Structure 1
């Protein structure tokens, strides 16, 4: 059974055009463990917990049905409690004596007391170094304050507005016309996953650039010319990271996302929210000529 499921992993990987090195780079699973999964050699995996995690990560990467992933994980034998290491002689050693415990606590309390005493002495020393203002100085300051005449500031109520000032006041700022129109034309499905189709129009005949910014960790791939087109980039990025800008040509730009809710689509200076719920999604972006 394990060998059959492992063979299914390998067939799905080859169907998607991934090498073992590609899977290792994306999932961070070592190549020897990937080969062990594909060969059904569960005994070569590094332990019960890691084995299940590796199978789940690899299965999601190649699009394996979740029920088959769980079925493969159930083939992993539970850890044998008899193989757990027995208590060593060190663990059975007698606890430290109460005398040693009290000595340690006494040393700690003495140290804390010394530190508090030094802090108190420092505060007293700083307070004694501050100069004291004499009574004569206080009287002189009070006299200068009472004898100083108060002056009302010259104020000008409702100053006249000159014609020059009126003409130089800026008018209300108008919104910037970016010259780019982004429209989601439809939502369909591809391989049982949601697929959004976008059309981008440059009304000022300017170049169009596509960029992804990430609010959460997400695996992605971008291809030119559709789902089986030329691979431009495939990687996993995290919060605060962005991809390089990719120029949108006449060919369709195809984007596959593992966690669409953690990604924002940027078309020049236009920001497009892709999804509000986590999960995989396909995106097709096509350039359309302005009418």
Structure 2
């Protein structure tokens, strides 16, 4: 077992995580995790994966991967350029096209021009037909409208007209009152939760929530992941591996701060009052993350 392997294993045991827990948190096969602890890199498919697995292992147990790479650079493969070179050299040059295909390509511009001319003629025909048909339709509509207006014309001073006008004024007043009342109701409902990023460093991000009288935390997994939820005093609210589709909910209205440790961020969705918390750090790049949620409580006026 190498010094690097000992360092990784000690950190894992300090976290109280088994190899099965670490496999669920990092999505790395257990046999590869064992190989990293024993320094047996030969069974891992490629130097790139060795470095990538060490980085994910370190972040899952709370170690700085960059410091590990610098400290143990003699024991860790430093590149994968040889694999890239092998792949590039294996690419065969493109074969020349057959003569029949070349002739077809030469005729392609002529065919495209002919098709374009046909399309233009068709468009012109459709436009002409639409103009002719539209003119006839407009003339018929205008005649029908004039006949209708002549048949049902009512004098402005007639009792019917005045009654209709009065009814219309009453409807407008009612709509105005309804709109004003609706605006007042919407103003009360617009008191929505606000989530903003306060700070972000390494694999840790702090968010601040405000604007809501009640706070409901929801943690849902779309893939297996190790999750830990603690309050400001360090009391554990949830800890362990959550299976795909599992959900954890907790009312955190009275909490000043909540701390989450996510083993596999791409497989975990965090919501507050039903609003999705958008990861400040891309989960694809930083799979293991520390999330701190601070509750900014607003003072109520007496």
- TM-score class, shorter: 0.5 to 0.7
Query: Which 5+ residue runs of structure 1 have no aligned equivalent?
Result: none
Question: What's the counterpart of residue 246 of structure 1?
Answer: 249
Query: What is the CA distance between 1:69 and its match in structure 2?
Result: 3.6
Distance (whole Å) between structure 2 residues aligned to residue 72 and residue 24 of structure 1: 23
Maintained 8 Å contact 1:55/1:73: no
State the alpha-carbon separation in 1 of the partners of residues 136 and 216 from structure 2. Answer: 74
1:210 has 2:207 as partner: no
Structure 1 residue 86, shift from structure 2 partner: 12
Match runs of 1:90-239 below 5 Å: 101-109=98-106, 150=146, 151=149, 159-160=165-166, 161-162=169-170, 165-166=173-174, 169-170=177-178, 171=181, 172-174=183-185, 175-176=187-188, 209-211=216-218, 221-223=227-229, 227=234, 229=236, 231-232=238-239, 234=241
Query: Does residue 76 in structure 1 map to residue 85 in structure 2?
Result: no
User: Is the deviation greater in 244-253 or in 140-149?
Assistant: 140-149
- Residue 54 of structure 1 aligns with which residue? 53
Q: Point out where structure 2 has 5 or more consecutive residues left out of the alignment.
A: none
Q: Are the equivalent residues in 1 in contact too, given 2:218–2:271 (CA < 8 A)? A: yes
Deviation at 1:140?
A: 8.8
Query: Which residue does the alignment assign to 2:67?
Result: 67
Counterparts in 2 of 1:253 and 1:128: CA distance versus 1, 3 Å = closer
Query: CA-atom RMSD, angstroms?
Result: 6.4
- Residues 71 and 183 of structure 1, relative CA distance in 2, 3 Å threshold: closer
C-alpha displacement at 1:63, in angstroms? 1.2
State how far apart, in whole Å, the 1-side matches of 2:43 and 2:226 are. Answer: 30
Q: Which structure exhibits the higher relative contact order, with contacts defined as CA atoms closer than 8 Å and separated by 6 or more residues? A: 2
Report the Cα distance in structure 2 between the residues aligned to 1:81 and 1:129, rounded to whole angstroms: 62
In the TM superposition, what whole-angstrom CA distance separates every residue of 1:254-282 from its partner, at most 9, and x where no partner exists? 4225799xx9964436x597986778444
Change (3 A) 1:25 1:130: same
Q: How many residues are matched?
A: 260
Distance 1:236 1:45 in 2: 27
Task: Specify whether residues 107 and 195 from structure 1 end up closer, same or farther in structure 2 by C-alpha distance, changes over 3 A only.
Answer: closer
Tell me whether 101-110 or 154-163 shows the greater mean CA deviation. 154-163
Distance 2:271 2:136 in 1: 69
TM-score, normalization: structure 2?
Answer: 0.53
